[in-house]
Amino acid sequence: MGKSRWLIWAIIACVLASSSARELKLFKHKMGHESDYNHTLATILVEYASAVYVTDMTQLFTWTCSRCNGLIKEFEIIELVVDIQHCLQSFVGVAKDLNAIVIAFRGTQEHSIMNWIEDLYWKQLDLNYPGMSDAMVHRGFYYAYHNTTLRPAILNAIKRAKECYGDIPIMVTGHSMGGAMAAFCGIDLKVNHEARNVQVMTFGQPRIGNAVFASYYSKLVPNTIRVTNEHDIVPHLPPYYPYFPQKTYHHFPREVWLYNIGLGSLVYNIEKVCDGSGEDPSCSRSVTGTSISDHLVYYGVALMSGEPGTCRIVMDPPVVDYGTTDLGGNFILSRNPATPVIKLNTESDTGGKNV
Ligand SMILES: *[C@@H]1O[C@H](CO)[C@@H](O)[C@H](O)[C@H]1NC(C)=O
Ligand SMILES: *[C@@H]1O[C@H](CO)[C@@H](O)[C@H](O)[C@H]1NC(C)=O
C-alpha cells in the first residue's frame, strides 16, 4: 500500500519533470530563434509586396504611386526590372528607415488568377536543386527567378547598393508567386553570393519544393517568415500529403498564420507563430484552403493589381532615359544610388505612353 503510493508519486514526479523540461526547451528554442516574428516589419514589407504590382513605371520608378506612400515612403529605388517575355516584375532599393536593401517580386499577372491557381494543383517536383542532393523543387518557379532577366539585374543592383551603403541587411519579399521567387532569391544570395544578413518574408506563398529542400532552406535562410492568411488557398498548393511527407511538396518554416476569432461583436486578429516544421497542423493546415479573396488582402493591404491579366506597362519620357531594353523587349530602369532621387516635373507627369 505504502509502496504503491510511493510509486505513483514517483511516476507523477517523473512526468512533471519531463514535461517541464520539454516546455523549457521549447521556450528556449523560441526565444533564441533567429526568425522571431516582428509584426511591425511585416506591415512594412507587405506594402513593398503590394507596390511591386504597380504597372505605371514612371510612378514606380519615381516612387510616387499611391501604394508607395504609407509606411514605405522613405524608399529609394535603385533598379526596376520588367521581364516582358515572362511577365515578371521586381525592384531593388534601399529603405533608409530599415537601413536595409529591399527586394520585392511581383506575383503572377496571368489573365485569370483562377486558372493560375488550378494549375498549381498539378505542379510537379521536377528539378533537382543544384548542389543539394535529393532536394527537389518546381522548375517553373525556380526558372522564373534563375533563368530570366531578373536575377542578373537584381544582383547588379545589390552590388551597387552595397558600394554606396555598405554591407547592410537584405530583405526579400513577395506575394503569391512573388513569394516563391523571393525564397529562391534569398537562398541564392546565401549560397552563391556570400550574403551574410538575408531576411525573407513572403505572403500567401505556394509550396516550392520537397521536405529535403525545405530542410536545406531553413538551415541556410533561418531568418524567414512565411505569412498565411485565414483560408487563403495558395499556401495549400501544390498539395502536401501527410502520409508521404518525404515525397511531396513541403513548406519551409516559419509560418505565421493570420486569422480572426469573433467573440460576440468583437473580432480579434490573431497572428499565430507556428512551429518549426513548416507544416504545423495547427496553423493554416487546420482549415481548408478555399478562399481566393483571403489571398488578395494581407494586413489590410491589397495585393495583386487592379487590372489582372495585363503585362502592359506605362512609361513616361522622363524615365525612359534611365532605361535599357534587350532584344526580347525586357527592360531595366536603373539609377546610381549615389545620385539624388529623381523628381518629376509636372508637365511630363501626363500623357503616359504605352510601351
Ligand atoms: C521590429 O521591426 C521594426 C522595423 O524594422 C523595428 O523598428 C523594431 O525594432 C523591431 N522590433 C524588434 C523587437 O526587433
Ligand atoms: C532559359 O532561358 C533561355 C532564354 O530565355 C531559354 O532558351 C531556355 O530554354 C531556358 N531554360 C529553361 C530550362 O527553361
pLDDT tens track for 99-110: 999 999 999 887
% of the chain beyond a pLDDT of 70: 85
Judge whether residue 15 has pLDDT over 90.
no
Confirm whether 55 is domain-assigned.
Answer: yes
Give the global pTM.
0.86
Write out pLDDT tens, residues 58-102.
Answer: 999 999 999 999 999 999 999 999 998 888 999 999 999 999 999
Confirm whether 80 is domain-assigned.
Answer: yes
Please check whether residue 37 is in contact with residue 273, taking contact to mean a CB–CB distance below 8 angstroms: yes
* CA gap 155, 160 in Å, rounded: 9
Mean pLDDT for 110-115 is: 81
Amino acid at 169: P
CA of 40, nearest ligand number: 1
Confirm whether 4 is domain-assigned.
Answer: no
Confirm whether 90 is domain-assigned.
Answer: yes
143 CA: nearest ligand 2 atom:
14
Q: Which residue's alpha carbon is nearest to atom 11 within ligand 2?
A: 147
CA of 43, nearest ligand number: 1
Q: What is the CATH number of the domain that holds 338?
A: 3.40.50.1820
% of the chain beyond a pLDDT of 90: 66
Mutate to test the pocket of ligand 1, among 30, 35, 41, 201 (most ligand atoms within 8 A of CB): 41
Q: Which residues line ligand 1 (CB under 6 A)?
A: 38, 40-41, 98
Q: Which residue's alpha carbon is nearest to atom 13 within ligand 1?
A: 38
Please state, in angstroms and as integers, the Cα–Cα distance from residue 209 to each residue in 45, 337, 347, following that order: 24, 35, 49
So what's the pLDDT on residue 19?
42
Confirm whether 56 is domain-assigned.
Answer: yes
Query: Separation of 305 CA from ligand 1 center, angstroms?
Result: 29
Query: Separation of 224 CA from ligand 1 center, angstroms?
Result: 15
Confirm whether 338 is domain-assigned.
Answer: yes
Please check whether residue 332 is in contact with residue 153, taking contact to mean a CB–CB distance below 8 angstroms: yes
Query: Separation of 315 CA from ligand 2 center, angstroms?
Result: 28
Query: Separation of 177 CA from ligand 2 center, angstroms?
Result: 19
Q: Which three cell numbers stand for residue 96?
A: 533608409
For residue 238, whether the previous peptide bond is cis, meaning omega lies within 30 degrees of 0, is yes
44 CA: nearest ligand 1 atom:
4
pLDDT higher for 313 or 298?
Answer: 298
Mutate to test the pocket of ligand 2, among 88, 137, 147, 151 (most ligand atoms within 8 A of CB): 147
Confirm whether 171 is domain-assigned.
Answer: yes
Query: Separation of 84 CA from ligand 2 center, angstroms?
Result: 14
Q: Which residues line ligand 2 (CB under 6 A)?
A: 143, 147
Tell me the average pLDDT of the chain.
86
Please state, in angstroms and as integers, the Cα–Cα distance from residue 203 to each residue in 116, 163, 297, 318, following that order: 17, 30, 10, 33
Total number of domains constituting the chain = 1
* CA gap 121, 236 in Å, rounded: 9
Confirm whether 13 is domain-assigned.
Answer: no
pLDDT higher for 127 or 17?
Answer: 127
Q: Which residue's alpha carbon is nearest to atom 14 within ligand 1?
A: 38
Q: Which three cell numbers stand for residue 70?
A: 504609407
**What residues make up the domain containing 214?**
36-224+303-354
Q: Which residue's alpha carbon is nearest to atom 13 within ligand 2?
A: 143
Write out pLDDT tens, residues 238-267.
Answer: 999 988 877 899 999 999 999 999 888 888
For residue 5, whether the previous peptide bond is cis, meaning omega lies within 30 degrees of 0, is no
Q: Where are the alpha helices (DSSP H) in the chain?
A: 2-32, 39-51, 57-61, 113-120, 139-146, 150-165, 177-192, 211-220, 293-296, 317-320
* CA gap 201, 244 in Å, rounded: 27
Q: Which three cell numbers stand for residue 259?
A: 486569422
